[in-house]
Chains A and B, each alone.
Chain A
Amino acid sequence: DTGVSQDPRHKITKRGQNVTFRCDPISEHNRLYWYRQTLGQGPEFLTYFQNEAQLEKSRLLSDRFSAERPKGSFSTLEIQRTEQGDSAMYLCASSPRRRGGDSEQYFGPGTRLTVT
């Protein structure tokens, strides 16, 4: 069990560019989550997948953001036309599905995005 991995760990981009982040969940975890954390704040939910289906999206996820999870394994989060306000840590988490619904979430190391 290698844990949740994210790539890249750091990304610096210029305003207006597109960026894509990848998350590899713990194997056999069928639920995958994306969160965003700005300096001094707790993480905020962005979106959630169960297998390949995107089941929930926060209003924080503007139309410049899109997430996919093809084949229900790894996931990508793309931000188009980045703005300075997108600068944040983007965190991915995964959890197994358990009878009764909910279970423990495990977080990756995050991707720190800086938009200049």
Chain B
Amino acid sequence: GIQVEQSPPDLILQEGANSTLRCNFSDSVNNLQWFHQNPWGQLINLFYIPSGTKQNGRLSATTVATERYSLLYISSSQTTDSGVYFCAVIDNYGQNFVFGPGTRLSVLP
């Protein structure tokens, strides 16, 4: 099945800093989503982005499907951005998500 890698595994930032999170996947996909999991376990949708670029406030994402990677950019980070960021993909054959291992982000005041 499809493999999903995320980097870095852990990231510590000072409030106000910018960061880039990366997701690599091993096969063609027809669905890619980025999620933020808050301390209570809720997965919050950030982007549905199987290809192209999207922006939402301080966050933006780019997926280059032909090169099998996606990037999540967080600008001017805030303490409330802390948590785990997951990339999840669905390959061209399936219907269910395969999640990456996540990037744990800590934003310090």
Chain A residues in the interface with B (C-beta under 8 A):
31, 33, 35, 37, 41-45, 48, 55-56, 58, 89, 91, 93, 101-107, 109-110, 112
Contact = CB atoms under 8 A, between A and B. Distances in A.
Given A33-B96, A56-B95, A109-B42, 12 more contacts: A42-B99, A43-B99, A55-B95, A91-B43, A102-B95, A104-B33, A106-B45, A107-B35, A107-B42, A107-B45, A109-B41, A110-B41
Interface of B: 30-31, 33, 35, 40-43, 45, 48, 50, 86, 88, 90, 94-102
Per DSSP, chain A at the interface is strand
Nearest to B40: A109
B33 A105 contact: yes
B97 A105 contact: yes
A61 B35 CA distance: 24
B59 to A, nearest CB: 16
Contacts of B40: 109
Best-surrounded residue of B31, B35, B41, B98 (most CB of chain A within 10 A): B41
A41 B101 contact: yes
Contacts of A41: 101
22 contacts: A33-B97, A37-B41, A41-B101, A42-B86, A42-B99, A42-B100, A44-B99, A56-B94, A56-B95, A91-B43, A101-B30, A102-B30, A102-B90, A102-B95, A104-B48, A105-B33, A105-B97, A107-B35, A109-B40, A109-B42, A110-B41, A110-B42
